[in-house]
Structure 1
Amino acid sequence: MEKLQTADELTEEIPDSAAGENEEAPEEKIVQGVHNYSAAEGYVRPTDPKVLEKLEWFQDQKLALMMHWGPYSQLGVVESWALSDADAGWSRTDIDWEADGRSFKEQYFGLNKTFNPIRFDPEKWAETAAEAGIRYLVFTTKHHDGFCMWDSKYSDYKITGEDCPFHTHRYADICGHLFEAFRKKGMGIAAYFSKADWHTDSYWAKGFPRGEYMWRGPSYVPAEHPEEWERFVAYTQNQIRELAANYGKLDIMWFDAGWVCPQAGQDIRLGEVIEEIRRWQPGMLCADRTVGGPYENYITPEQCVPEEPLGVPWESCITLGTSFSFAYEDTYKTPREVICLLVDIVAKGGNLAINVGPQPDGRLPKGAVASLKGMGEWLKVYGEAIYGTRVCDPYKKGNIAFTRKKDEDILYALELFPDEKTVVPEVVLLPFTEDVIESIVKVTMPDSGESIPFTRQKSGILVKPPRRPLDTAPIARVYRIERKRRSARTGEERR
């Protein structure tokens, strides 16, 4: 399994020259398109009971399908980032058809005129996701390039625009059809929305000293041009309202472009529009990533996994392939790799948003589908140790991870085998604290329902799982551990 980098390691890789001039990033930096994540110590717990209820739902789901899709998929290049001249050093390594930034940007922004994913079938996507054990969708309604995957009345740069050949297709309003298909399968909806918009003339506005050379922020200083900035704020808030008002129930609004924030002098007053939306979408979560404060309802590590439990709601967004956007001849993580990743995240109290970039023709790549279905086969058998669980001390020891159901009477130990060639031991020590060891009454194997004997030791319980004739090590052996009922252990009422 490939080693995921920590956010600090990612930060160390970028040279100082890659930052745009006048770019004073907030405390959480965005490096080579990858967001660091907010410190758990600064987390602001919501006070709205409906939001708290939705956070409980969120922490039960564990597995999301994230999807970055837009006209850029035609070229198999990084989404949006190559448009920023200040980020060209890392983002244009695959751009070889035009050398100058102006021509490249014109060609990129013109990709809408050839984007025609006629093989897009939202029902098939939803069916694949359901088979994979996905519980909610995180879909890019708009990335930094400003292209709208819904029928926005505030922009002509959209999938339903007359200059986009797909606009006559029966599924032209992609967000509407996709959200409905996933809801029918019982999955939640998170609308990814970039607060930056590099296409609208109120953000990358012309006639300012920066000229043609652009960076990830606006082409002007908002405090010095408040009227121009207010134009952008109105535009952005209107699009956020539009998604929340016209596209059914949204469980989450997931905001990218963490540099668009008050700390960086780019205040779009997100809170006021979110509170307005919550009047008709009560409890809707808001993930204003890396910004902190009352509208970052959960933390979003990107392409990395925290070393330890964070103690607050969180979700790692990690690619199934090598990039968030579609890449030709991409390679995908195996089901074994993804399940080991998922278990590591869930044991630390997080969710995994596994990202797949759809093809330009509207289909999901075969390699990605095969991996997703392999994930789902494992989760059909062992999902009880994943969904609806919380952190269980000691959460992870060596290759053994732990989870628990919320009532604490049922625990799970997941013995992971990241390498299929690993020798599978006949006897396993499951480490627990003394109070847990004394309360255990039964150990079973979820795949067969078979009870297995166990022996209490000072440092845990010793179990001897049944031998299975396998040529390779399983992805994991999962143990279901029953404890004495809580009322019997403590005299407390069970919740």
Structure 2
Amino acid sequence: MKKIPALIYFLFISFLTFAQIYQPPTDAKVAAKLSQWGGKKFGLFMHWGIYSIPGIVESWSINSEDASWIPRDSTLNYEKYKKWYFDLNKQFNPVNFDPTIWAGYAKKAGMQYVVFTTKHHDGFAMFNTKQSNYKITGADVPFSSNPKANIVKEVFSAFRNEGFMIGAYFSKPDWHSEYYWWPRYATPDRNNNYDIRLHPQRWQQFKQFTYNQIEELMSDYGKVDILWLDGGWVRPKATVNEEVLSWGAPIPAWDQDIDMPKIAKMARAKQPGLIMVDRTVHGEYENYQTPEQKIPEKPLNYPWETCMTMGDAWGYVPNDNYKSANTLVHLLVDIVAKGGNFLLDVGPKPDGTFPEIVLQRLTEIGQWMDINKESIYETEPIAPYKSENVCFTKGKRGNIYALYLINEKSVVPAKIMLKSLPKIPKRVSLLGVKSVVKWKQIGNDFEIVLPKDTKGLKHALVFKFD
């Protein structure tokens, strides 16, 4: 990367600081839905596509950037590899696909909204788009003759029937589209591979292609609550910020502007109150921000959602390293205590089922949520948010909850000392037990003697302060 003169760099960073200020929605319907979403707290994210067949990183292996996290078969030259990858659609046949099972497990886990990949960067549409034949319902896809072939429609319907808010993940870049990656040229990186300034009509065709696909999703798939847009390098050049530069990818000299105002106007005309998440493009069309694979150190002053994988990978990878239920509950508690939502990602297998370990984790999380959900849903952060291994939330009725995180390898002590309490309570109860909780104040600390019937409580003890 070329060095930037100091003054220009200073002005650029100053611009970024201003540009990243969160812009609350001015549409009352969007604001109301955003508030509703903020109370849901826990959602399911799913990356599913042709990449699940070989169990490899989703889409990225056809991008020729040199990065350790982008593995590729070194025995094939790049063009042959891309052809092999793109032809995986001819093997996609998830005969055991039944989204009602997914929705049932997600509901039992305490999740209340879903975000599903309608199309990832590789361009393979998991819905019956009319803009391309590269889709789940394409004639060369074995599953296309299945009654459930329009996967997005089936997924949205199954989760909607369980009361979930519905989110459509959509990749702005499309590496299969000739209007984004023009076969006339090589594809050296994630960006479009031709100079838009020299070929404005070709880019206009891509903009129309993108608009049309999003219009289909907003028109033909029932009520949609969230449009979750990925591929943040597709953006107006003026909005390129420090985060984009940190990705290390080349920045083209031209705009990759797809006219978000036009898309938003259409989408919200069809889906009033639609939450838009134009990830990393801070401004009017990023109604909430999405820290990826991380949790902020403290509460943020705008709506946010941590998106994180249950294993190491976003999509299905055989023998993935899945987080324990204890870890997942602790992540949920930490995120909620800081005012965020937790979007937990899993990758379905190529046959259309969840790995058995995923079902186990969702079941275990659900057992904890059954007892303690009132300390999670519709809560807000309250200082000090987290003190050592204790997190705090505040309920709608003013109740304060202290969530004591249990290390899965340690024994819960008979007495617990809580520090830095937001308020000294008049009454204390432990969710999940009927016994009276004994407590006393010692200086500025608060000692709780655990009742004997706490056996079976796992992951986090939740004390309710009235």
Identity of aligned residues (%): 41
Look up the match of 1:454.
Answer: 439
The letter for the 2-side match of 1:170 is P
Which residue of 378, 397, 403 corresponds with 1:388?
Answer: 378
Answer yes or no: is the 8 Å Cα contact 2:433–2:454 preserved in 1.
Answer: no
Tell me the SS of whatever aligns to 1:240.
helix
CA distance in structure 1 between the aligned counterparts of 2:375 and 2:437, rounded to whole angstroms: 17
Query: Which amino acid letter does the alignment assign opposite residue 366 of structure 2?
Result: G
Match of 2:458 in 1: 474
How far apart in 1 are the matches of 2:19 and 2:34?
16
Match of 1:84 in 2: 63
**Matched residue type, 2:172:** K
Residues 1:63 and 1:38: Cα distance change in structure 2 (over 3 Å):
farther
Q: Which residue of 2 aligns with 1:43?
A: 22
Give SS of 2:373's match: helix
**Structure 1 residues 91 and 431 mapped into 2: Cα distance closer, same or farther (>3 Å)?**
closer
* Code of the aligned partner of 1:421: S
Q: Which of 126, 140, 145 in structure 1 is aligned with 2:117? A: 140
Return the letter of the residue paired with 1:59. G
**Aligned amino acid, residue 60 of structure 2:** W
TM-score normalised by L of structure 1: 0.85
SS at match of 2:344: strand
- 1:70 maps to 49
Equivalent position of 1:5 in the other structure: none
Q: 1:417-451: per-residue Cα shift (whole Å, max 9, x none)?
A: 13332452513224224xx32xx321111212444
| The 10-residue stretch of structure 1 (191-200 or 213-222) with the greater mean CA deviation from structure 2 | 213-222
Q: Quick check: 2:59–2:121 contact (8 Å CA) kept in 1?
A: yes
Q: Find 2:416's aligned residue among 402, 406, 427.
A: 427
d(CA) in 2 for partners of 1:184 and 1:193? 22
- Report the Cα offset of residue 330 of structure 1: 1.5
Separation (CA, whole Å) in 1 of partners of 2:63 and 2:279: 20
- Mapped partners of 2:20, 2:297: distance in 1: 15
CA distance in structure 2 between the partners assigned to 1:449 and 1:134 by the alignment: 26
Residue 131 of structure 2 corresponds to 154
Distance across 1 between alignment mates of 2:42 and 2:452: 30
SS of match in other structure, 2:205:
helix
Task: State the match for 2:75 in structure 1.
Answer: 98
State the match for 1:212 in structure 2. 186
Secondary structure, aligned partner of 1:266:
coil
Deviations 1:29-52 (A, max 9, x none): xxxxxxxx9999611111111111
Match of 2:277 among 267, 287, 310: 287
Distance in 2 separating the partners of 1:272 and 1:474: 49
Counterpart position of 2:228: 254
> Which of structure 1's runs of 4+ aligned residues deviate more than 4 A?
37-41
**Aligned ranges for residues 330-349 of structure 1 at < 5 Å?**
330-349=320-339
Report the CA distance shift for 1:391/1:327 in structure 2 as closer, same or farther (over 3 A).
same
Return the alpha-carbon distance in structure 1 between the equivalents of residues 387 and 348 of structure 2.
37
Report if the CA contact (8 A) 1:38-1:290 is conserved: no
Question: Residue 420 of structure 1 contacts residue 474 of structure 1 at CA under 8 Å; is this kept in 2?
Answer: no
Correspondence for 1:305 among 281, 295, 314: 295
Are residues 297 and 373 of structure 1, via their aligned partners in 2, closer, same or farther at CA, if it must alter by over 3 Å?
same
Q: Which residue type is aligned with residue 429 of structure 1?
A: L
Matched, 1:411 2:400: yes
What secondary structure, in the 3-state scheme, does the structure 1 residue paired with 2:413 have? coil
1:111-161 deviation line (CA, Å, top 9, x unaligned): 000100011011111111111111111100000000000000011000000
Please give the alpha-carbon distance, in whole angstroms, between the structure 1 residues aligned to 2:62 and 2:268.
34
Structure 2 CA distance, aligned partners of 1:356 and 1:418?
Answer: 24
- Report the counterpart of residue 350 of structure 1 in structure 2: 340
Match in the other structure for 2:215: 241
**What is the aligned partner in structure 2 of residue 183 from structure 1?**
160
User: Contact conserved, 2:53 with 2:350, CA < 8 A, in 1?
Assistant: yes
1:361 and 2:338 are equivalent in the alignment: no
| Contact in 1 for aligned 2:181/2:187 (Cα 8 Å) | no
SS in 2 for 1:274: helix
Runs (5+) with no aligned partner, structure 1: 1-15, 18-26, 29-36, 483-495
Q: What TM-score do you get using the length of structure 2 for normalisation? A: 0.90
Q: Which segment is superposed worse, 191-200 or 307-316? A: 307-316
User: C-alpha distance in 2, partners of 1:133/1:291?
Assistant: 30
The verdict on how the C-alpha distance between 1:99 and 1:426 changes in structure 2, with shifts beyond 3 A counting, is same
- Work out the CA distance in 2 between the residues paired with 1:272 and 1:359: 36
Aligned to 2:204: 230
- Indicate if the aligned counterparts of 2:175 and 2:181 stay in contact, CA closer than 8 A: yes
Does the CA-based 8 Å contact 1:423-1:473 persist in structure 2? no
1:115 maps to 2:72: no
Distance between the aligned counterparts of 2:202 and 2:140, measured in 1?
27
RMSD over equivalenced CA pairs, Å: 2.2
